[in-house]
Structure 1
Amino acid sequence: MGALRSEILELKTVNEDKQSQIEYLREENKTGLAHLRISKEIISLKVAGKNCSLKIDKMLSERSRVQTIPSVDGQTRTDGIFEDLEKVNMKLKESLSGR
């Protein structure tokens, strides 16, 4: 499966049961709508019925106050809290392309 072409559009932070959940909404791509959620240290991504999970650094999951974050190409705005999300995006792309 090739890397996702869609970009991260929006970041929402929801606090439920004292656990911060971060949800990304992605554009529709050729495989359909991709949904990405970060909860604790696990990123789970579902694309076209296929699931892909990836662990991230704990410090990333502890930072939850952010309005927008970089897209896969790094061109969208960010408030600087998620400096390491570029690395997360690269890991996701590698994972989805089967590396």
Structure 2
Amino acid sequence: AGRATVETLVSQNVGEHVIVVGQHLADGLTELPHVSEVRGKGLMRGAQLDIPIAGDVVDAALAEGLVLNHIGDSILRFLPPLVITEGQIDTMLGKLKEILERIGNGN
């Protein structure tokens, strides 16, 4: 089973996909309001917020169908599936932008 998994990952070029889509995620997160820094590699990313609203953002995101979590009050953590597409990332970023604007502005 392990060998078959590795063969599938290699044959479907999953590593390159993770690099490309992960960079797309990082670039998009950098553009969001209240995000001061983005860290991580591939699809494992953390977004440092400039205000302590991470818990509220995670709750609002879940209500919008987004699953993410937070580390402390100011870091959002993203661990999307390896098969996520750039289009799905864009949809998530659009929803997250609205959430950050709303919560970050106290609404």
What's the TM-score, normalizing by structure 2? 0.36
Q: Whose strand fraction is larger, Structure 1's or Structure 2's? A: 1
Q: Whose helix fraction is larger, Structure 1's or Structure 2's? A: 2
